[in-house]
């Protein structure tokens, strides 16, 4: 059976308690279908507009990969704001954040088809409005994929993972301007043969949490915790055995991360009373045939909704263009949990 990739938008709505943790899937809709393959999304609210970023290309892996930026004022009608391309490499895995000086920062990486010295180079761009973007800046070490950048108190932090056959570790980087990154920890001590994709969150008391994907053995997710200056980390193995299709989501709430599976999502909640511990709560599930991957999340603050965007796959779609769509998903916390969903990706 063939699965056809597309982009989805989902909305979650505040209301009466729905299930144990009060999350309900409200809406799923397509927002983009202009390339043969659209995937690996991220989402942010910036100056009263939505900005969604993702990779376009002929396929999941193809030499023509480019980073598309689309924008919307209402989440209903979307238009292209920019397309970042490279004539000599495949651009991949767009992530978006806002810098302390009020600019959008787009991060990604390029894979070189005919490498001589290295195969992977992490990149960043900057924009005042999401439409006009700076030249690219090479960041982190070659063949270390700086997966996601998180800002905290004027500094940018991110873990990079080694992409070479003889280099399967992770290292922590920091930057004061987002253009020049220094290594904080060159070899982060975490068990496993292939730790890689990460998502960082900082709590108001400066505690840092990291949800880590592990494709090697043991095949579990890990939750890391650290205190300033973030040079020492404690890791706890997640009880679930993660599949290759699981993804770590962007910050959906302060102190939370979502692990996205084929049929839905879990939100990982750090237990502040037990350092380094976490529990998972079910977030929402999609009907059979849908698949969310590399989720982005932001909040509709005015109506208490959470807005997610991700690549989806629908085995029931057919015909030309059916494999070219991006959906969004709306979900909603109950009133007694709405406060937990504050501080998400929204900037005036």
Which residue, among 203, 207, 200, has the nearest Cα to 222 in the 3D structure? 200
Most confident of the following: 194-203, 298-307, 339-348? 194-203
Q: What are the chain's domains?
A: 5-347 (2.120.10.10)
Burial class (CB in 10 A: 0-12, 13-18, 19+), 84: middle
> pTM here?
0.80
Residue-wise pLDDT tens digits, 275-317? 545 555 555 555 444 445 555 666 554 444 556 665 555 444 3
Residue-wise pLDDT tens digits, 67-121? 999 999 988 899 999 999 999 999 999 999 999 999 999 999 999 998 889 999 9
Which residue, among 254, 257, 253, has the nearest Cα to 267 in the 3D structure? 257
Q: Could you tell me how far CA 247 lies from the centroid of its own chain?
A: 8
Q: What is the 3-state secondary structure (H, E, C) of 144-181?
A: EEECCCEEECCEEEEEEEECECCECCEEEEEECCCCCC
CA distance 245 to 192: 18
For residue 246, the model assigns a pLDDT of: 37
Which residue, among 52, 54, 80, 51, has the nearest Cα to 65 in the 3D structure? 54
pLDDT confidence tier of residue 215, bands split at 50, 70 and 90: confident
Backbone angles phi, psi at 339, to 5 degrees: -65, -25
CA distance 219 to 212: 11
CA distance 119 to 152: 30
Q: 8 forms bridges with which residues in the sheet? A: 30, 310
For residue 323, the model assigns a pLDDT of: 42
DSSP state of 189: -
Which residue, among 61, 90, 77, has the nearest Cα to 29 in the 3D structure? 77
DSSP 25-56: EEEEEEEE--SSEEEEEEEEEETTEEEEEEEE
């Amino acid at each position: 059976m063939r699965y056809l990739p597309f982009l989805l938008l989902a909305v979650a709505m505040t209301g009466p308690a729905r299930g144990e943790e009060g999350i309900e899937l409200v809406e799923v809709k397509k927002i983009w279908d202009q390339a043969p393959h659209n995937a690996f999304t991220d989402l942010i609210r910036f100056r009263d507009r939505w900005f969604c970023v993702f990779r376009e290309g002929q396929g999941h892996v193809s030499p023509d990969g480019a980073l598309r930026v689309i924008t919307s004022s209402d989440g209903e009608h979307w238009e292209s704001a920019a397309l970042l391309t490279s004539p000599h490499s495949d651009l991949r895995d767009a992530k978006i954040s806002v810098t302390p000086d009020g600019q959008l920062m787009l991060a990604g990486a390029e894979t070189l088809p005919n490498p001589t010295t290295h195969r992977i180079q992490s990149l960043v761009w900057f924009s005042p409005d999401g439409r006009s973007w700076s030249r690219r800046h090479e960041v982190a070490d070659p063949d270390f994929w700086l997966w996601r950048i998180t800002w905290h108190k004027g500094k940018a932090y991110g873990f990079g993972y080694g992409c070479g056959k003889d280099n399967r570790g992770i290292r922590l980087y920091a930057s004061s301007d987002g253009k020049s990154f220094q290594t904080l920890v060159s070899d982060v001590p975490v068990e496993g043969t292939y730790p890689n994709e990460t998502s960082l969150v900082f709590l108001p008391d400066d505690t840092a949490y990291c949800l880590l994907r592990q494709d090697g053995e043991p095949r579990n997710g890990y939750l890391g915790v650290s205190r300033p200056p973030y040079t020492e980390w404690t890791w706890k193995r997640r009880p679930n055995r993660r599949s290759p299709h699981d993804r770590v989501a962007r910050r959906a709430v302060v102190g939370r991360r979502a692990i996205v599976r084929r049929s839905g999502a879990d939100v990982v909640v750090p237990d502040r009373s037990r350092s380094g511990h976490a529990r998972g709560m079910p977030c929402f599930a999609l009907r059979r045939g849908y698949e969310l991957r590399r989720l982005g999340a932001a909040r509709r603050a005015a109506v208490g909704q959470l807005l997610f965007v991700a690549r989806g796959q629908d085995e029931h779609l057919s015909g030309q263009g059916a494999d070219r769509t991006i959906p969004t998903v709306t979900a909603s916390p109950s009133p007694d949990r709405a406060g937990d969903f504050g501080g998400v990706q929204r900037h005036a």
